[in-house]
């Protein structure tokens, strides 16, 4: 979910209150059982799939389904690596922590790994994994019907008038389907168990400590691991950072989309109103905003057919979701502007967005719903949606709406981990100031929670992902991360890259 400064006095007060809560937390934050003490060394072999670096190796580890019963049923965890390119320069293992929740990781040594400078690839074995339930690890699924795989179902966009009745029906149906079809594995999918799985990987690799590069949701997994297993962390890089507020966790991340869209939309509006823009939507940024809001309202009233989409129409919420997706990266500005221009002219969009696969949908839902309890008062949701529609019209109340987690059948098995300043000072946070999924305000909360354990490199840029970004990166941020990974050098104080 991903990843600004506060827009209102109320948000500023809420941020300060969260920081105070986190800053005063107890250091005793390790919940329940630790990782598997019997993890066997991986038997590396060839990887399945195409487009992978030929040096990438894969293996399957067996880890406990339930860490409370380490001698009981076990599941498979698919792990991959590219060994360090200069064995004589090797200094350890760098784990690439998948995002999402609901993203695979097995391909990451080949894909994200190649973004790393050669000096880093020389020094580290680059390792990643498919989280439990995902990809080539033991597979999870809810057996959702095709309509419920759509982002317009799993992201709770209310009706054009703000009514949430349809969201309640959809949320109940998805929660009931997951309870009926998900089985025991789905009930064990959580951030805390992913941290335990990572430590099982560490044990299997025979490493006393791991280094890490976590992006987006991977920053929360990395933060939880650093709190649960601080003695096993070496150089810890977290990029595009989730708010760790233990009272809200993913509930807060969904709400943060309202902030993130308002933070990042001005970048798109300036681009789409510039004289040299390939698709100029208006003469001013305010004109771009009005055009988008007006178009969404018209599509609410009269959708366009969208063959191949789910559902097969371009309505106001489909436009809003397309906008939100495009604000992750400047690379998507032109496609968003063309979608807006074509829809305004009554043209059917050429390409339809793909739905997530069953395992990604199930793992995402299970993580979000198993990590923290969600409120159940439907009148409160209706009230919050109405208020959000007024204060953040671009997201139309979606970030405050009811979700399947409201009706989830199982209570969280572990309490959310409270991130504290107790532990080694070996964390480097990297963060764009304008990030649609992990807003700057939430990243600052993580910075405060870590205290002197962390330093933050802020980048005065827009986008989700701040270090080693293709086409739109920051040489300043890249240099800071590289110096940390290779030399252990962090800035003495937090820094801003312009």
Q: What separation in angstroms does the CA of 424 have from each of 11, 215, 241?
A: 31, 20, 19
Q: Which residues pair with 413 in a beta bridge?
A: none
Q: Which string of DSSP letters, residue by residue, matches 305-349?
A: E-TTSSSSEE-HHHHHHHHHHHTT-GGGHHHHHHHHHHHHTTPPP
Pseudo-torsion of CA 262, 267, 270, 274, nearest 10°? -160
d(CA 425, CA 234): 10
Sign of the torsion angle spanned by Cα atoms 144, 146, 150, 155: negative
Number of continuous H segments (helices) and E segments (strands) in the chain: 16, 12
d(CA 276, CA 30): 54
* Helical (H) or strand (E) element with 281: none
d(CA 186, CA 132): 9
Residue 442, judged by CB atoms within 10 A of its CB (0-12, 13-18, 19+), counts as buried
The pLDDT value recorded for residue 154 is 84
The pLDDT value recorded for residue 25 is 34
Tokens of 186: 């789905």
The pLDDT value recorded for residue 12 is 33
Domain coordinates in residue numbering, the chain: 45-136+190-249+423-497
Nearest of 149, 447, 398 to residue 261 by alpha carbon: 398
Nearest of 314, 318, 312, 285 to residue 302 by alpha carbon: 314
Q: Which residue is associated with the tokens 């063959």? A: 307
Residue 370, judged by CB atoms within 10 A of its CB (0-12, 13-18, 19+), counts as buried
Beta strands in 36-176 (DSSP E): 45-46, 57-64, 74-82, 92-97, 124-129
Contacts of 188 (CB under 8 A, 6+ apart): 65, 66, 132, 413
The pLDDT value recorded for residue 151 is 87
Domain 45-136+190-249+423-497 has CATH 3.30.70.1230: no
Helix 333-344 and helix 285-301: axis angle, to 10°?
A: 50
The tens place of each residue's pLDDT in the chain, 498 residues long, gives: 433 333 333 333 233 333 333 333 333 444 566 656 666 789 999 999 889 999 999 999 999 999 999 999 999 999 999 999 888 889 999 999 999 999 999 999 999 999 999 999 999 999 999 999 999 999 999 999 999 999 888 899 999 999 999 999 999 999 999 999 999 999 999 999 999 999 999 999 999 999 999 999 999 999 999 999 999 999 999 999 999 999 999 999 999 999 999 999 999 999 999 999 999 999 999 999 999 999 999 999 999 999 999 999 999 999 999 999 999 999 999 999 999 999 999 998 888 899 999 999 999 999 999 999 999 999 999 999 999 999 999 999 999 999 999 999 999 999 999 999 999 999 999 999 999 999 999 999 999 999 999 999 999 999 999 999 976 679 999 999 999 999 999 999 999 998
SS3 72: coil
The pLDDT value recorded for residue 111 is 95
């Amino acid at each position: 979910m991903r990843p600004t400064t506060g827009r209102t006095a109320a948000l500023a007060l809420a941020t300060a209150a969260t920081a105070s809560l986190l800053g005063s937390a107890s250091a005793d934050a390790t919940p329940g059982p630790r990782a598997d003490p019997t993890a066997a060394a991986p038997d590396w072999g060839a990887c399945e799939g195409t487009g992978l670096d030929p040096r990438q190796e894969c293996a399957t580890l067996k880890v406990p389904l339930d860490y409370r019963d380490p001698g009981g049923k076990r599941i498979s965890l698919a792990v991959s690596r590219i060994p360090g390119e200069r064995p004589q320069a090797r200094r350890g293992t760098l784990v690439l922590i998948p995002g999402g929740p609901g993203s695979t990781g097995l391909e990451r040594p080949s894909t994200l790994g190649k973004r790393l400078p050669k000096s880093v690839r020389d020094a580290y074995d680059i390792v990643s994994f498919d989280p439990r339930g995902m990809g080539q690890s033991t597979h999870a699924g809810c057996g959702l019907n095709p309509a419920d795989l759509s982002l317009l179902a799993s992201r709770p966009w209310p009706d054009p008038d703000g009514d949430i009745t349809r969201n309640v029906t959809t949320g109940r149906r998805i929660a009931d389907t997951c309870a009926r079809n998900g089985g025991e594995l789905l009930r064990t999918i959580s951030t805390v168990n992913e941290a335990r799985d990572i430590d099982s990987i560490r044990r299997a690799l025979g490493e006393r400590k791991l280094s890490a590069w976590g992006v987006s949701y991977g920053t929360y997994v990395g933060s939880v691991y650093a709190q649960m297993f601080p003695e096993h962390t070496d150089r810890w890089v977290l990029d595009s950072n989730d708010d760790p507020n233990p009272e809200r966790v993913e509930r807060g991340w969904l709400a943060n989309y309202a902030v993130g869209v308002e933070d990042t939309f001005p970048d798109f509006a300036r681009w789409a109103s510039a004289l040299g823009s390939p698709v100029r939507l208006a003469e001013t940024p305010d004109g771009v905003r009005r055009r988008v809001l007006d178009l969404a309202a018209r599509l609410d009233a009269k959708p366009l057919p969208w063959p191949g989409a789910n559902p097969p129409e371009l309505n106001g919420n489909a436009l809003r979701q397309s906008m939100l997706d495009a604000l992750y990266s400047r690379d998507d500005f032109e496609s968003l502007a063309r979608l807006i221009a074509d829809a305004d002219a009554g043209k059917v969009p050429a390409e339809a967005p793909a739905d997530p696969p069953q395992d990604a949908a199930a793992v995402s839902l299970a993580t979000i719903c198993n990590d923290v309890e969600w409120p159940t008062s439907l009148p409160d949701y209706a009230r919050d949606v109405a208020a959000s529609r007024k204060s953040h019209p671009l997201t139309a109340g979606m970030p405050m709406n009811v979700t399947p987690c409201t009706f989830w059948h199982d209570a969280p098995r572990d309490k959310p981990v409270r991130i504290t300043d107790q532990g080694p000072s070996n964390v480097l946070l990297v963060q764009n100031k304008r990030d649609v999924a992990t807003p700057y305000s939430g990243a600052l909360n993580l910075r405060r929670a870590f205290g002197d354990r962390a330093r933050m490199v802020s980048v005065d840029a827009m986008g989700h992902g701040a270090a080693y970004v293709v086409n739109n990166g920051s040489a300043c941020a890249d240099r800071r991360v590289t110096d940390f990974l290779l030399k252990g050098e962090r800035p003495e104080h937090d820094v801003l890259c312009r």
